[in-house]
Chains A and B, each alone.
Chain A
Amino acid sequence: MKFGKEEIQKIVLGGLVGVGVIYSYFDLLLGPLKTRHANTLKSIAALQPEISRAKGLIAKGNTIRDQAPQAEATIAQIDAMIPEGAPVAWFPTRMTEFFKTHGIDKVSTRMTGEAPHPSLSGYRRITWNIEIPKVECLRFGAALAALENTEPLISVETCNIDTQREEPDVQRVSITLSNIVKQ
């Protein structure tokens, strides 16, 4: 088959049109569509961890919210144990009355230190020295056990019991304790 000049021109023209169509198709139609597709996939991939994070935060928040009433009740219970007012006004009286109920009459309590609680914000730790000049060791032991059992905010730091040569039946007791109070 032999092509004439006009036919060859038509073929070349057709080829050029074809190339143009293919180029336009990929560059102007399919290309942007593919780019958009890829961008959408990227957006989805970026959004999924954010959604998981948000879901995790909400779940964690719900767990904490469920635990909060119990914690609030514990704090309220502890706060209720701390009387209002300056500790120096109520604590020595409280100790005197406490030991009196355990048969120990002479008790002197004095404050020896005060500092913010190292791990509880909004609370202070006050250190007290309690002197009992005359007490039977076992009576004191029972009172100490009761003190440790009934006063959870009190922690006995030092305890000294000395016998007295002139009265061997009674001992002299000195204890240092710390008490948690509100700021």
Chain B
Amino acid sequence: MPLHLNLYHEIDRQKAASRRDPLKIAAYILGFIVAIFVAMYVIELGKNASIQGDLAKLKAEFDGLDPKAKEVERSEKALKQTLDTSAQFVKSIEGRFYWAPTLQEVIKIVPREVQITRFGGNVTTVAGAPGTEPTKKAVITVDGIACGADPRRVAEDLRQTLAETFGKKYKTSTASFRQLDDSTDTVALDGRNLPTATFGITLTVEGANDAAATATNTTPR
């Protein structure tokens, strides 16, 4: 093996010492960390710029919509009042109680053994449960004279027929006697003299009346 003489050992030692310089190593590490930080910052800045762009777009959209919405809100009050008035008119017109079909129905029901002497009635508006529409309540009075072998039975049949007939047309229907008295008068019917009874029936109906008024064409009794 040939003899090898290193005449630069001092220089090599200095170079090795320089390579192991902790400050230099620390500077490299710090530089690396700074580079990572810069990269993170740039990424964050990019994200921020993108989100700022989104915000600017939304602000522009809102700035465009807000005056329109305020204008709509202003005009909505007047339009809503128009709609409400129209709806109230329709409700008021359609919610009326029609007397003509009621009268027609009573005329149809009354048998030939009964003479009506007085027909009356009045309609009131009844407030419903919260959240429901008010309903019309009609109290109808039918007074008359019933004749027959058993005039009280004739009057009772009329009361029941009134309750049943109007019960089909209204949600609630009740008919009750206000009075039912035997009379000393007699009437002639089909060649016979029959005893009579005077009666007064109160018919109460409540609920929507869908039927529109129709012309009466029943023959008189």
Interface residues of A (CB under 8 A from B): 1, 3, 7, 10-11, 14-15, 17-18, 21-22, 25, 29-30, 33-34, 36-37, 40-41, 43-44, 47-48, 50-51, 53-55, 57-58, 60-62, 64-65, 67-68, 70-72, 74-75, 78, 119-122, 136-138, 141-142, 144-149, 152-153, 155-163, 175-176, 180
Contact = CB atoms under 8 A, between A and B. Distances in A.
Dominant SS at the B interface? Answer: helix
Contact of B22 (A3, A58, A64): A3
Given A3-B22, A29-B41, A141 B51 contact: no
A169 B200 CA distance: 21
Contacts of A29: 37, 41
A145 B45 CA distance: 81
B72 A58 contact: yes
Contact of B216 (A3, A121, A141): A141
Contact of A37 (B30, B41, B47, B99): B47
Majority secondary structure, A binding face: helix
B150 interface: no
A40 B75 contact: no
Contacts of A36: 48
Given A44-B54, A160-B118, A141 B107 contact: yes
Interface string B9-31: 00000000000111100110010
Contacts of A122: 85
Nearest to B25: A14
Contacts of B116: 163
Given A142-B216, A145-B214, A160-B120, A18 B44 contact: no
Contacts of B153: none
B193 interface: no
A18 B26 contact: yes
B117 A155 contact: no
B51 A162 contact: no
A153 B93 contact: yes
A57 to B, nearest CB: 4
Contacts of A75: 82, 85-86, 89
A21 B29 CA distance: 13
B75 A61 contact: yes
Nearest to A156: B99
A141 B82 contact: no
A153 B90 CA distance: 10
B213 A157 contact: no
